[in-house]
Amino acid sequence: MFLSVFDVFKIGVGPSSSHTMGPMTAANRFLDLILSDQWPRPAGAHVAALKASLHGSLAYTGIGHGTGNAVIIGLMGEAPDSVDPDRMEAIIADVERTGRVTPPGHPSYFFQPKDDLVYDKKTPLTGHANGMRLSALDKDGRVLLTQIYYSIGGGFVVTDTELLAMQKQKKQASSQKVPYPFASAKEMLAMAASSGLSIAQMKRANEEAVRSREDLDAGLDRLWEAMSSCIDRGLRQEGQLPGGLKVRRRAKSIHDQLQEEWRSNRLNPVLANDWLSVYAMAVNEENAAGGRVVTSPTNGAAGVVPATIRYYLHFHPDADQEGIRDYLLTAAAIGGIIKHNASISGAEVGCQGEVGSASAMAAAGLAAVMGGTPEQIENAAEIALEHHLGMTCDPVAGLVQVPCIERNALGAVKAVTAASLALKGDGVHFVPLDACIETMRQTGNDMNEKYKETSLGGLAVNVVEC
């Protein structure tokens, strides 16, 4: 099993990898399909109009997550990793004004969002909680082409037929031949023991089977640059977040207080936790505002990994760029195992699959750069994930703000604590990471749908909106 570090970590825009980046990518794929010869195009038929319907969690929380806007932007040919966040509102306004989308390389298509973009809460699609249907019609309104897409978490998008094939083969990643194709933590530890390599070294060998060392390092450095820039921007911004809840950004104010304490040398027994929290909150405030973020492994959990890397740079004198690369490679190895054997989708398993997975990845990465053995790294990931089991996804008003922003702060704190506990042991522990991942999967399957990113339960219904 091989899932690239650049699949686990993707540069995109907020507020959601599954509800924003995924639908945007699905729209891009549909545009490509229209131009291809992979569908039975009737003789003389020409696509004149497009329609979209959102289903399941995409319908229930799509407005708060900006899903409809993501579809519009995607149908304009914009991609998550390259769209300018500052232009998105203007793009949407232009489509709403003209009733057309004009993607590069295509003729213009009729698409009036108020009529052609439907939030269908009554008709779930059976493959996944995050489903959408895109259709192309001729000038007389006859449907020429329809394709179902599922946004399965972390920005990953598959068609209905691709999802069936994945389920049948029990694969959720590329079948690319790599030297260390571990699909579980048990296999990972066995391969580390037999090879004498670290988890990061094995992951690097797998990546270098498909790209050069120079490209890998440059890509890893771009990921951290994007993460670090997101932290820095989040620490500079003030004011209210969009969406109507009137949630105020707090990261800058907290950061200013911490800098003052740092300069004055005042004793703060929870200093490390405070820095971790403010870094994570800065990222997720940016995510909530629709800014540039890196899925880690999702947008809703995007603050945990960057916060712990910045913590590593802040508090560990031996921290360097090579350490950041090893951290990301190790974290991606753990994230790939979790995604392969369970899920990173809040709509599938709740927030245990988002912040829980992110915390496990961050704990593993931090343990690795602090000198942990493969067994200690696996233990760190298990501790972090275990203490997120059962966590629901219940965003108030469908916005990735409450409780999501603070939840990332606590996920980062748990990651550091888990790494510290693991490094003080010898790697021998009672609950294997694989058992914890399977427990997370089973818990997610048993979880009531109203606690899985639908905003129909939990805080989403018990917080009085003023």
The predicted pLDDT at position 465 comes to 53
Kindly state whether residue 144 falls inside one of the protein's structural domains: yes
Kindly state whether residue 266 falls inside one of the protein's structural domains: yes
Condensed to tens digits (0 to 9), the pLDDT of residues 15-28 reads 999 999 999 999 99
Condensed to tens digits (0 to 9), the pLDDT of residues 315-338 reads 899 999 999 999 999 999 999 999
Mean pLDDT of 442-462: 96
Which DSSP string do the residues of 370-437 spell out, in sequence order?
TT--HHHHHHHHHHHHHTTTT--B--GGG-S-TTHHHHHHHHHHHHHHHHHHHHTS-S--SS-HHHHH
**Domain containing 248 — which CATH number?**
1.10.4100
Task: State whether 120 and 211 are in the same domain.
Answer: no
Kindly state whether residue 390 falls inside one of the protein's structural domains: yes
The predicted pLDDT at position 173 comes to 47
The predicted pLDDT at position 166 comes to 84
The predicted pLDDT at position 270 comes to 82
Candidate from 13-17, 61-65, 169-173, 243-247 with smallest mean pLDDT: 169-173
What is the CA angle 307-262-275, rounded to 5?
15
Mean pLDDT of 178-187: 98
Mean pLDDT of 216-232: 98
Candidate from 11-15, 29-33, 164-168 with smallest mean pLDDT: 164-168
Answer yes or no: is pLDDT of 156 > 90: yes
Task: State whether 327 and 371 are in the same domain.
Answer: yes
Name the band, by pLDDT with cuts 50, 70 and 90, for residue 285.
very high
Answer yes or no: is pLDDT of 269 > 90: no
Q: Domain end: 108, 138, 169, which one? A: 169
What are the C-alpha distances in Å from 19 to residues 100, 273, 316?
23, 30, 36
Kindly state whether residue 121 falls inside one of the protein's structural domains: yes
Which pair of tokens denotes residue 112?
């009036």
Give the sign of the dihedral formed by CA 335, CA 341, CA 346, CA 349.
Answer: negative
Kindly state whether residue 2 falls inside one of the protein's structural domains: no
Condensed to tens digits (0 to 9), the pLDDT of residues 396-437 reads 999 999 999 999 999 999 999 999 999 999 999 999 999 999
For residue 340, give its domain range.
185-462
Regarding pTM above 0.95, the answer is: no
The predicted pLDDT at position 461 comes to 95
